[in-house]
Structure 1
Amino acid sequence: MAAVGEKIDYVFKVVLIGDSAVGKSQILARFARDEFSLDSKATIGVEFQTRTLVIQHKSVKAQIWDTAGQERYRAVTSAYYRGAVGALLVYDITKRQSFDHIPRWLEELRSHADKNIVIMLVGNKSDLEDQRAVSTEDASEFAQKENLFFLETSALEARNVETAFQTVLTEIFNIINKKTVVSDPQGNGNAPTLSGKKIVIPGPAQEIPKNKMCCQTS
């Protein structure tokens, strides 16, 4: 964690989306505060937490927005996609319906946010393997088709939650920093570019850049 008053080099907004009760708030609590609550209540509207990490010797403040999954809040929360440079698209591996709704959430995300933001598909509750209703293969195939990162997590057991956020934040960081040293005057899409504050990401993002991670954990 960054010390009080320490200079922040970057602030990245990341949104959590997906059906209600898939564990979005628990994933956020685990990442932001290393907490897990068995009696977590449904999120009303939108909440957000921040956490500062060090990525490649730079201080990065992650501003994570947790959007309510209930249908009645979706018209309200759509405005909160704006400005997001990353997203975690969460489903529950024990609830097939939550995975079946992922294409709709992805469509909504891409219609309200920059279509090229860094997106990770997250299958939460991997600790409930005996209740699995969505195979890893199905989710991985969908992620590859849509050019998404993919991980299965367990907020309860703190499994892969850190990796999921670190991967998204590191990918955003790398794209922004490539922009400072690479130019693409022909505009042929071979180099990452920034148009205003929008991040344009070339090509598929299917592999987790583990060797590029260099971050502190809280």
Structure 2
Amino acid sequence: MGHRMKSNEAYNFVFKVVLIGESGVGKSNLLSRFAKNEFNHDSRTTIGVEFSTRTVQLNGLTIKAQIWDTAGLERYRAITSAYYRGAVGALLVYDVTKHLTYESVERWLKELYDHADPHMVVMLVGNKSDLVSERSVPTEEAKDFAEKKGLLFLETSALESTNVEAAFNDVLSEIHRKVSSKKVIQGSISAVSLAGHVPSNPEENKPCCKNI
């Protein structure tokens, strides 16, 4: 076993990832499974934004993931632009047993792109894949939709811990790939996460007058 992570350990990147989707699809349980390896069978809807952090090692880099949960606000259409600000990734979650939660995915995508960086990494997540007999959203249908929209896609079970690590890690890897590739333009997600560096002056990362 290696040394335990020190809480003050340096990290290369901080990536903010938001969880979105209808109420009751399991966003909070995906987060607690990833951040603390817990599943709460009687999870109540909590009000107010919550986030958890977890540090992961990917491709030899230390990445601190800051995962934000809507915590019940999605019921009230009260999610503000502050929730999305600075986010470089999103998990858009639906419940594979409730077709209505899948039908609302397009509305969530629109809201996301209205408020967040268009270059951000988005994964469509079909949660509760353990409920095989109750499934109402076919995997292929959701997969095709994700491909058309340029989204990553996975089905997960927060209950059985299936694909939860993979979902978050795939999103974090893809964010890192985008951030380190020169394809992402300046002023986009590359500016948000420069080696754990938070600009004291928010204007610092904004492109000025060059190349316009």
When normalised by structure 1's length, the TM-score is 0.81
1:39 aligned counterpart, secondary structure: coil
Match of 1:171 in 2: 174
1:6-21 paired onto structure 2 within 5 Å? 6-21=9-24
Task: Look up the match of 1:119.
Answer: 122
Aligned pair in 2 of structure 1 residues 65, 17: CA closer, same or farther (>3 Å)? same
Q: Match for residue 137 of structure 2?
A: 134
Name structure 1 gaps, 5 residues minimum: 180-191, 201-218
The amino acid of 1:147's aligned partner reads G
In the alignment, structure 2 segments of 5+ residues that lack a partner are 192-212
Q: When the two structures are superposed, what TM-score results if normalisation uses the length of structure 2?
A: 0.84
- Superposed CA RMSD: 1.7
Are 1:63 and 2:66 an aligned pair? yes
The answer as to whether partners of 1:22 and 1:98 remain within 8 angstroms in 2 is yes
Determine if contact 1:45/1:76 at 8 Å carries over to the other structure: no
1:53 corresponds to which residue? 56
Write the deviation string for residues 113-171 of structure 1: whole angstroms up to 9, x where unpaired.
01120000000000001000110011011101100000000000000000000000001
For the Cα contact (< 8 Å) 1:117–1:199, is it kept in 2? no
Q: Between 99-108 and 75-84, report the one with greater CA deviation.
A: 75-84
Whether 1:147 aligns to 2:150 is yes
Aligned-pair distance for 1:195? 1.8
Summarize the alignment of residues 67-86 of structure 1 with structure 2, pairs less than 5 Å apart.
Answer: 67-86=70-89
1:75 positional shift:
2.9
Query: 1-side partners of 2:10 and 2:86: how far apart?
Result: 22
* Aligned equivalents of 1:2, 1:169: Cα separation in 2: 19
User: What is the aligned partner in structure 2 of residue 95 from structure 1?
Assistant: 98
